[in-house]
Amino acid sequence: MSTSAHLRSVLADALTEDGTLTDPAWRDAAETVRRELFLGSYFAQVTDSVPTGYLPVRQGEDGWLEGIYADRTLVTQLDGRVRPGDVTDGSVTGDPTSSSTLPSLVLRMWQQLEVEAGHRVLEVGTGSGYSTALGAHRLGHDRLTSVEYDPVVGRAAAAALKAAGYAPRLIVGDGLRGDPDAGASTYDRLIATCSVRYVPMAWLHQVKPGGKILATHSGWSYASGLALLTVTGPGTATGRLLPGYTSFMIARPHDRPPRPTLALLPGEERPSRIDPAVIGTWTGSWVAQLAAPAAERMGAGPEQILWDVSTGSQARTAPGPDGGWTVVQRGPVRLWDRVETAIRLWQAAGEPHQESFGITVSAARQRVWIGSEDGTGWDLPV
């Protein structure tokens, strides 16, 4: 057995044992698809670096193959342009814009999508092509279409898929617009490996009623939740957030606009009615983002900063006297008022994890709710 085959088998065993791989057909895909064909060189994160440093791991060097089968997300592009091969000396910093998602997550998502033989599937975010290859192995080439936004990434994925012997239909373009050549109700399933601030209307028309959409909701505060929606009619869908902690890089057209360096400005001060640290927790940060979707969150613990670049509104918290907290707000949107109200509603519901939330989507409105469709909710910024 080659080293690669051995590492694939070890990974498949580990993912079966921990309950990730439950379907033998997906285990077969995990054991067959050689992830190294989709990576070449990749970036490794420099431990404890701030801002995060990325060191290229070159194809064939010591630890390269082991790193590929270590079940980690491997970044392959920074800032929409820098690839590992471009870095000739030391480490670099930047925002990850393409990667090969960790195998356990990709395989878990393919299973959560409840894909069946014969289904026609649209994937948004080809990236390295590894998840596409797993899908093509399981479904057959002619059932899968994958869209990648970045032409350089798309070309590399196409070459890798060809070398690996898979021939799904590949598109370079904006996957938020769906498949430009497909009509309405073409697909049974849609899976996105980039996240979205709201569900694109094209997806709701191209997936058949009864079909499913699996996508991560995220936003400008970097909080995320994975949702599985069922299309209920043309342009409508409903579903729930799933257990676990899933995040993906945001779809490029949904990313926040460029902003200047933060300048903290004076404003009105008052006591905070919530512990600001709660918006640093997984679900708390997501609830805060639902309440203030145009705000970026910075800071940590009791010292949180929210900044809405579209209006210039700011909120910043700090420990106050007597063990409490204060907030300073300025600008037309009282960001902390909104966040505080949302967090208190969530706390009144018992601070449930995201899996107690759902999303209902129509042409008029996209709403995230707690508990049931008629429960407390927030509109997404469509």
Ligand X SMILES: C[S@@+](CC[C@H](N)C(=O)[O-])C[C@H]1O[C@@H](n2cnc3c(N)ncnc32)[C@H](O)[C@@H]1O
Q: Please give the residue ranges that form the binding site for ligand X (CB under 6 A).
A: 97-101, 106, 124-125, 127-128, 130-131, 147-150, 153, 174-176, 193-194, 248-249, 251-253
User: Nearer to ligand X by C-beta: 56 or 175?
Assistant: 175
Nearer of residues 26 and 248 to ligand X, judged by Cβ: 248
CB of 158 vs ligand X, minimal distance in Å: 13
Per-residue b/e over 296-330, b at no fewer than 16 CB within 10 Å?
A: bbeeeebebbbbbbeeebbbbbebeeeeebbbbbb
Q: Which is nearer to ligand X, 64 or 349 (CB)?
A: 64
CB of 151 to ligand X, least distance (A): 10
The residue of the chain with the least Cβ separation from ligand X equals 127
Q: Are strands 144-148 and 169-172 parallel, antiparallel or unpaired?
A: parallel
One of 99, 100, 285, 356 is an active-site residue; which one?
99
Shortest Cβ distance from residue 35 to ligand X (Å)?
Answer: 9
**Can you tell me the distance from the alpha carbon of 45 to that of 32, in angstroms, rounded to the nearest whole number?**
27
Taking alpha carbons only, the member of 228, 178, 230 closest to residue 209 is 230
Nearer to ligand X, 197 or 240 (CB): 197
Instruction: Report in angstroms how near the CB of residue 76 gets to ligand X at its nearest.
Output: 8
State which residue, 41 or 272, has the beta carbon closest to ligand X. 41
Q: By C-beta, is 153 or 199 nearer to ligand X?
A: 153
Question: Is 131 designated active site?
Answer: no
Considering the complex, what minimum distance in angstroms separates the CB of residue 84 from ligand X?
14
Which lies closer to ligand X via its Cβ, residue 100 or residue 356? 100
Spatial separation of the C-alpha atoms in residues 221 and 128, rounded to whole Å: 26
CB of 271 to ligand X, least distance (A): 41
99 closest CA partner among 46, 143, 35, 162: 35
Q: In whole angstroms, how close is the CB of 208 to ligand X at the nearest point? A: 21
Integer Cα distance of 311 and 247 in angstroms: 27
Q: Which is nearer to ligand X, 97 or 366 (CB)?
A: 97
The least CB distance from residue 170 to ligand X, in Å, is 11
Catalytic positions are 99
